[in-house]
Amino acid sequence: MAVPNRSVGVQEFLVGSREKGALLLDVRSPSEFEEAHIPGALSFPLFDDAERAQVGTLYKQEGREMAVERGLEFIGPRMADMVRKAKELFSEEPDRRPIHMYCWRGGMRSGSLSWLLRTAGLPVVLLHGGYKAYKQTLPGFMGQEWPLVRVGGYTGSAKTAVLHALADAGEQVVDLEGLARHFGSAFGNLHRHAQPTSEHFRNLLAEALSGLDPHRRIWVENESRRIGNVHVPEPFYKRMIACPALEMLRSMEDRVTHLVGMYGDFDAVLLRHAFEAIQTELGGPETREALAALEVKDLATAARIALEYYDRTYEHGLQKRAKDNRHPVDAQGVSLEQCAERLMAAADGMGL
């Protein structure tokens, strides 16, 4: 006998899916999942991409009945395997909560698989309206009046490392570059990590924010709209630039030391490619000088040359945002932990 079916709204669904022992299944096609999904979900597709395309075309051209018949032809031989796999996943956690499941609109795909799993005795909770409903909640959520404090500073100021020091000190932090898997410059992804899509980055950001106290300050790096190939969601970006920025003042030696430590173990070929990528803006003689420094492993000289370019870029950005709410914090010649302490003291003094 099938266990009862439940279909709940986005907030109840997300709360339940985040509980210890919850199993979150995305039954959309693999390409849909790859594009973006609710963080924490496992891909458990009812159809592969080609099958989904066929069923969708039939639905539009021949109607629901024909689409359902074709879908059954696809999944019929796999039904026992899908139940077996779901039971294996479900049994991995001793205190397993109901399976939380969604498709695109919360319709045929999740409804069909829910029926199958419930018939097999597995408890299932469906997302009413599916991923589309979840997606529609995010602009409003992202644009809330989050109590953000931006950490600013010239390239090489160790902003990300200082954010981690703030987190170690008990502060609330959102690492935008970490979520984007990119440091935000030509040198920002030398390992060529695959970045999430902008849509999935938004989902990851929403998930990170959902675990924070909206009544306590939240530190973020003072980013531009784009981090590598990823775009910061516009509602969140607008909120971010409306909040104060504490600008770390670090010496050139502080910054060079940080960059040498950060990139010293990288393959020189990767560093060379990064310099070549900014050659037009950096200048021919400067690029040749930087590449020559790399050849003799003089990373400090190469870093100083790169900083001359990035400093010009940063100052140009400051001029474009002349009305930005910025406050300098002297952080020259001190450790990352001391940088964090000075930022916290400055924020406390401003009542943030």
Residues annotated as part of the active site = 103
CA–CA separation, 63 vs 56, rounded Å?
10
CA–CA separation, 162 vs 166, rounded Å?
6
Each as own residue / partner, the long-range contacts of residues 321-324 (CB below 8 Å, 24 or more positions apart, any chain) are 321/241, 324/241, 324/245
C-beta neighbour count of 39 within 10 angstroms = 17
Helix (H, G, I), strand (E, B) or coil at 13: helix
Q: Identify whether the C-beta of residue 111 lies closer than 8 Å to the C-beta of residue 76.
A: no
Q: Identify whether the C-beta of residue 37 lies closer than 8 Å to the C-beta of residue 131.
A: yes
Q: Identify whether the C-beta of residue 260 lies closer than 8 Å to the C-beta of residue 303.
A: yes
CA–CA separation, 213 vs 19, rounded Å?
18
CA–CA separation, 243 vs 231, rounded Å?
19
CA–CA separation, 154 vs 350, rounded Å?
22
Helix (H, G, I), strand (E, B) or coil at 69: helix
The residues with which 200 forms a beta bridge, in sequence order, are: none
CA–CA separation, 121 vs 90, rounded Å?
11
CA–CA separation, 270 vs 277, rounded Å?
11
**Rg (alpha carbons) of the chain, rounded to whole number:** 25
Ranges assigned E (strand) in the chain:
6-8, 23-26, 42-43, 99-102, 124-127, 148-152, 172-174, 218-221, 226-227, 230-231, 245-249, 326-330
